[in-house]
Amino acid sequence: MTLSAKHLEELRERRAKLLVAGGEDKIQQRHAKGLLTARERLIALFQPDTFQEIGGHVRHSGQHFGMADKDLPGDAVICGTGYIDGCPVAALSQDFMIAAGTLGKMHAQKIVQMMQLAVKTGMPVVAFKDSGGARIQEGVDALSGYGEVFYHNVLLSGVVPQIAIIAGPCAGGAAYSPALMDFVIMTKTNAYMFVTGPEVIKAVTGRSISMEELGSAAVHAALSGSVHFVADDDRHAIQIVHTLLGYLPANNTEDPPHRPNPDISLSRDESMATLIPDDPVEPMDVRPIIQRLVDQGQFLEVHASWAGNIIVGFARIEGVVVGLIANQPMVMAGALSIDASDKTARFIRFCNAFNIPLVTLVDVPGFMPGVKEEHSGVIRHGAKMLYTYASATVPKITLIMRRAYGGAYLAMCAQEMGADAVYAWPGAEIAVMGADGAVNILYRREIKEAADPKAKAAELAALYRQEFASPYLSAARGYITDVIEPAETRFTLALVLRKVLTKRELRPAKKHGDMPL
Ligand code: HXC
Buried b / exposed e across 120-151, counting CB within 10 Å, b at 16+? eeebbbbbbbbbbbbbebbeebbeebbeebbe
The ligand 1 atom nearest the CA atom of 131: 32
- Do 325 and 221 lie in one domain? The reply is no
Which residues are CB-contacts of 372 (< 8 A; sequence separation ≥ 6)?
none
Q: Which residues of the chain have pLDDT under 50?
A: none
- Whole-number pLDDT of residue 59: 87
**Is 1 part of a structural domain of the chain?**
no
- Do 477 and 462 lie in one domain? The reply is no
Q: Is 197 in the pocket of ligand 1 (CB under 6 A)?
A: yes
Q: Is 60 in the pocket of ligand 1 (CB under 6 A)?
A: no
- Do 475 and 464 lie in one domain? The reply is no
Phi–psi pair at 193, nearest 5 degrees: -135, 125
Q: Is 176 in the pocket of ligand 1 (CB under 6 A)?
A: yes
**Catalytic position from the list 407, 428, 431, 475:** 407
CA–CA distances in Å: residue 9 to residues 15, 72, 433, 499: 10, 21, 78, 61
- Per DSSP, the residues of 300-358 read EEESTTS-TTEEEEEEEETTEEEEEEEE-TTTGGG-B-HHHHHHHHHHHHHHHHTT--E
Q: Are 163 and 123 in contact (CB under 8 A)?
A: no
Distance CA 136, CA 146 (A): 13
Distance CA 433, CA 439 (A): 10
- Do 351 and 365 lie in one domain? The reply is yes
429-431 and 396-405 beta bridge pairing: parallel
Residue 123's CATH number: 3.90.226.10
Distance CA 281, CA 286 (A): 15
Q: Is 167 a catalytic residue?
A: no
Q: Which of 468, 467, 495 is nearest to 481 (CA)?
A: 495
- Do 27 and 157 lie in one domain? The reply is yes
**Catalytic position from the list 408, 421, 424, 475:** 408
Distance CA 209, CA 192 (A): 13
Q: Is 409 in the pocket of ligand 1 (CB under 6 A)?
A: no
Q: Which of 474, 186, 204, 516 is nearest to 338 (CA)?
A: 516
Atom 3 of ligand 1, residue of closest alpha carbon: 132
- Do 421 and 309 lie in one domain? The reply is yes
CA 309 to ligand 1 centroid distance, Å: 38
**Is 264 part of a structural domain of the chain?**
no
Mutate to test the pocket of ligand 1, among 95, 96, 102 (most ligand atoms within 8 A of CB): 102
Atom 18 of ligand 1, residue of closest alpha carbon: 100
**Is 54 part of a structural domain of the chain?**
yes
CA–CA distances in Å: residue 421 to residues 358, 398, 406: 11, 6, 19
Say how many domains are in the chain: 3
**Is 22 part of a structural domain of the chain?**
yes
Q: Is 99 in the pocket of ligand 1 (CB under 6 A)?
A: yes
**Is 481 part of a structural domain of the chain?**
yes
CA 132 to ligand 1 centroid distance, Å: 4
- Whole-number pLDDT of residue 1: 65
Report the half-sphere exposure of 334 (CA within 13 A, side-chain side). 30
Q: Is 297 a catalytic residue?
A: no
Atom 33 of ligand 1, residue of closest alpha carbon: 132
The ligand 1 atom nearest the CA atom of 142: 51
Percentage helix, strand, coil for the chain under 3-state DSSP, each rounded to 5: 45, 20, 35
Tally DSSP H helices, then E strands, for the chain.
21, 16
Q: Are 209 and 198 in contact (CB under 8 A)?
A: yes
- Do 193 and 326 lie in one domain? The reply is no
- Do 442 and 414 lie in one domain? The reply is no
**Catalytic position from the list 133, 173, 334, 427:** 173
Which residue range(s) make up the domain with 399?
Answer: 270-432+470-500
- Do 98 and 198 lie in one domain? The reply is yes
Q: Is 173 a catalytic residue?
A: yes
- Do 29 and 133 lie in one domain? The reply is yes
**Is 516 part of a structural domain of the chain?**
no
**Is 53 part of a structural domain of the chain?**
yes
What's this model's pTM, rounded to 2 decimal places?
A: 0.95
Q: Is 160 in the pocket of ligand 1 (CB under 6 A)?
A: no
- Do 170 and 214 lie in one domain? The reply is yes
Residues in the chain: 517
CA 226 to ligand 1 centroid distance, Å: 22
Secondary structure class of 374 (helix, strand, coil): helix
Distance CA 53, CA 110 (A): 11
**Is 253 part of a structural domain of the chain?**
no
- Do 177 and 239 lie in one domain? The reply is yes
**Residue 375: in which H helix or E strand, if any?**
helix 371-376
Phi–psi pair at 75, nearest 5 degrees: 55, 40
